Amino acid sequence: MKWTRRRFLQASFVGVAGLIVGCTRHELPDYVAPRLRKKPPDIADELRLAIVGDWGSGQIEQWEVAQGCEAAAAELGGFHAGIFLGDNFYPAGVDSVGDPLWEEYFEQVYDTEHLGGLTWHAILGNHDHAGNPQAQIDYSRISNGRWNMPDYFYRQDFGPRGGDPLLTMIGIDTDRNLERQHEQLHFLQQEIDALQVARWPVIICGHHPFHSNGNHEISTEMRQQLEPLIRQARPVAYFCGHDHNLQLIRREDTLHVVSGGGGKVLHNMHGHVEGTLYKERAYGFVVMIVRRDGIRLEFRDRRGNLLHTHTANDTPD
């Protein structure tokens, strides 16, 4: 076997983990293809998104969260799309578009009746940067619509065909090692200016939190550069992971949503930061439901059960 840098890190990680937990590791179950894959519904007057972060662990918890997404999709009548918030492949990203982790951690785990035809719009996390991040961008071209990451930063509109969007997502790269930061800042400013007249809500998705009850936040240098632009954009929500738990924090006009319970070992939280509306050390994900008259956020556990809801009439004035 060829020992790439990621393979070496992965082997080292597994070895250390084995010593810690007595060589017990709960792997993903064997893959069983669904008998039916339902096409995602067309977007009309409602948009439903599944939002998952820190998921690519290759452990049973990742599979359980995916099954929870499946259960929620069946309950709600299907998702229109999914969003991945980074740390898509532990411990060190992927090597190439042919890396076997694409099949093991993505294609097979999220191949269910309601998720098998879904497009997942993904951004990069710090663990993804430890591998070959360009491979995750390139995979968009060969994934048959299942994976979408057109660049390190990009805009994605969601809405009915021929009509105004119900929502605009701006995906950004919050890793301090991003070499194209100057280009990203220019991109963000252009999008902010273009969306000033939008009559629909905007969300920004990045991997690192700006506010968290845990120990994992964005680096000082990236905060100094990105936070003023995010405040200027006034998104209805900033979605992130990096902290492996579930949180909802309101700061000024923006909800800061941590959805980092996608499958990796959970992180503890401490204290109670200003503006905290909800926090839970749990595996799970967030469902975002957008209508013209408002937005609903649902925090769900690994079985798809409802943990917490937040509703806001957040359509811009």
The 3-state secondary structure of the chain reads CCCCHHHHHHHHHHHHHHHHCCCCCCECCCCCCCCCCCCCCCCCCEEEEEEECCCCCCEHHHHHHHHHHHHHHHHHCCCCEEEECCCCCCCCCCCCCCCCHHHHHHHCCCCCCCCCCCCEEECCCHHHHCCCHHHHHHHHHCCCCCEECCCCCEEEEECCCCCCCCEEEEECCCCCCCCCHHHHHHHHHHHHHHHHHCCCCEEEECCCCCCCCCCCCCCHHHHHHHHHHHHHHCCCEEEECCCCCEEEEEECCEEEEEECCCCCCCCCCCCCCCCEEEEECCCEEEEEEEECCEEEEEEEECCCCEEEEEEECCCCC
CATH number, residue 258: 3.60.21.10
Q: Model-level pTM?
A: 0.91
For residue 75, being part of any structural domain is answered with yes
For residue 70, being part of any structural domain is answered with yes
> Do 257 and 237 form a contact (C-beta atoms < 8 A)?
yes
User: Given this model, what pLDDT does residue 53 score?
Assistant: 98
User: Given this model, what pLDDT does residue 23 score?
Assistant: 33
User: Given this model, what pLDDT does residue 118 score?
Assistant: 97
User: Given this model, what pLDDT does residue 313 score?
Assistant: 66
Based on the structure, what is the number of domains in the chain?
Answer: 1
User: Given this model, what pLDDT does residue 14 score?
Assistant: 41
Instruction: For the chain, 317 residues long, give each residue's pLDDT as a single digit of tens.
Output: 344 445 444 444 444 433 333 333 478 999 999 999 999 999 999 999 999 999 999 999 999 999 999 999 999 999 999 999 999 999 999 999 999 999 999 999 999 999 999 999 999 999 999 999 999 999 999 999 999 999 999 999 999 998 899 999 999 999 999 999 999 999 999 999 999 988 999 999 999 999 999 989 899 999 999 999 999 999 999 999 999 999 999 999 999 999 999 999 999 998 889 999 999 999 999 999 999 999 999 999 999 999 999 998 644 43
For residue 317, being part of any structural domain is answered with no
User: Given this model, what pLDDT does residue 27 score?
Assistant: 86
Instruction: State residue 46 phi and psi, 5-degree precision.
Output: -145, 140
- Domain around 178: 5-312
For residue 151, being part of any structural domain is answered with yes
For residue 137, being part of any structural domain is answered with yes
User: Given this model, what pLDDT does residue 11 score?
Assistant: 44
Strand partners, 249: 256, 276
User: Given this model, what pLDDT does residue 261 score?
Assistant: 98
User: Given this model, what pLDDT does residue 89 score?
Assistant: 98
